């Protein structure tokens, strides 16, 4: 990355208490001890600066207690901020243990007065005794339910629960590399497994005849359809389901994709999905991975199934860490 700082478009901080005061910060490694963040984190987009502190300090003034993991008491669990680096729009998500957010109007007023670029304030409810950050219920308490971000010529609507790459600048490079490896023409049929909110799918749709996206999270599919409409793209279709179950059905129905793109979570692809990809026998597979170890494991299976790994291109998505995303091109051996 040319300028490897201030890149994170999403920041989530836990809320705790120390000496009777609310604190926000980051967990000490391998623990849930909060180290207070006394200055803005140099990895986060500058638009985030001050927003979490405003929520924390206003909650302190209003007597809103932090969530206590050990006792499963208290209210305020996390504060999450999402920003559009290129649109300058921001969303604040306040996560509570309780269904009610006390003094919501005063919190909203404080955020709006100090941070005019905030266009969306959401309340997420997580009543469970868990270390998972967000609960299943999210409600809009002020403004829009989405913010927007631009990558290349496309605009994406991002909701509170949407998956979206945290590094906007490098995401554009990542998608350009995936598009290069896909090497599409106007007659190509593409399957995008683990399509999320459709970000890669819509890039692919600009060069293909048809793109089919598969995603197991219904909210993400709803966002993908919204994003396709937002960009006037009509040759992308999105379905809810597990790719390893959907793709064999499509094969039985006679679908023959020229290219399959996968962008799985860190655990890599389900073995049934890898087998479905092998049986569909596309000309090319583009594998986007955030975990080189599971990527290597899955490439071995695909190579055994008749594909040859041609090239792997790492992308520096998380500067100053050992983490990378890799884009890999595989071609079917004749």
Q: In this structure, are residues 133 and 126 in contact, taking their beta carbons and an 8 Å threshold?
A: yes
Of the candidates 207, 219, 88, the residue with the CA atom closest to the CA atom of residue 153: 207
Question: How many whole angstroms separate alpha carbon 292 and alpha carbon 61?
Answer: 46
Contacts of 300 (CB under 8 A, 6+ apart): none
The active-site residue out of 195, 269, 290, 326 is 290
* Whole-Å CA distances, 176 to 140, 179, 203, 292: 34, 5, 8, 20
DSSP string covering 200-235, please?
HHHHHHTTSSEEEEEES-HHHHHHHHHHHHHTT--S
Q: Could you give the strand order of the β-sheet that contains 34-36, starting from the edge strand earlier in sequence?
A: 34-36, 21-27, 10-18, 76-83, 90-96, 118-125, 137-143
Question: Is 290 designated active site?
Answer: yes
- List the catalytic residues: 290
């Amino acid at each position: 990355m040319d300028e490897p700082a201030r890149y994170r478009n999403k920041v989530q901080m836990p809320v705790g208490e120390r000496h009777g005061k609310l604190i926000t910060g980051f967990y000490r490694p391998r623990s849930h001890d909060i180290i207070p963040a006394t200055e803005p984190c140099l990895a986060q987009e500058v638009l985030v600066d001050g927003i979490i502190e405003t929520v924390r300090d206003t909650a302190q003034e209003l007597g809103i207690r932090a969530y206590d993991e050990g006792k499963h008491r208290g209210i305020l669990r996390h504060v999450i901020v999402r920003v559009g680096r290129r649109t300058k729009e921001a969303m604040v998500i306040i996560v509570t243990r309780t269904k009610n957010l006390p003094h919501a109007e005063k919190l909203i007023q404080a955020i709006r007065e100090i941070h005019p670029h905030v266009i969306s304030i959401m309340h997420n409810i997580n009543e469970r005794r868990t270390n998972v950050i967000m609960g299943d219920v999210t409600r809009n308490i002020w403004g829009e339910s989405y913010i927007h971000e631009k990558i290349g010529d496309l605009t994406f609507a991002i909701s509170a629960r949407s998956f979206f790459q945290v590094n906007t600048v490098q995401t554009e490079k990542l998608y350009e590399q995936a598009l290069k490896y896909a090497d599409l023409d106007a007659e190509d049929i593409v399957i995008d497994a683990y399509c999320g909110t459709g970000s890669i799918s819509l890039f692919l749709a600009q060069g293909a005849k048809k793109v089919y996206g598969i995603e197991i999270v219904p909210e993400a599919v709803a966002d993908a359809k919204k994003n396709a409409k937002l960009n006037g793209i009509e040759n992308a279709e999105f379905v809810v389901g597990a790719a390893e179950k959907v793709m064999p059905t499509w094969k039985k129905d006679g679908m023959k994709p020229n290219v399959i793109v996968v962008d799985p979570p860190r655990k890599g692809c389900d073995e049934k999905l890898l087998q479905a990809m092998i049986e569909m026998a596309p000309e090319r597979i583009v594998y986007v991975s955030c975990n080189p170890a599971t990527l290597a494991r899955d490439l071995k299976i695909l190579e055994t199934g008749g594909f040859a790994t041609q090239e792997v291109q790492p992308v520096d998505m998380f500067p100053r860490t050992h983490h990378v995303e890799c884009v890999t091109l595989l071609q079917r051996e004749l």
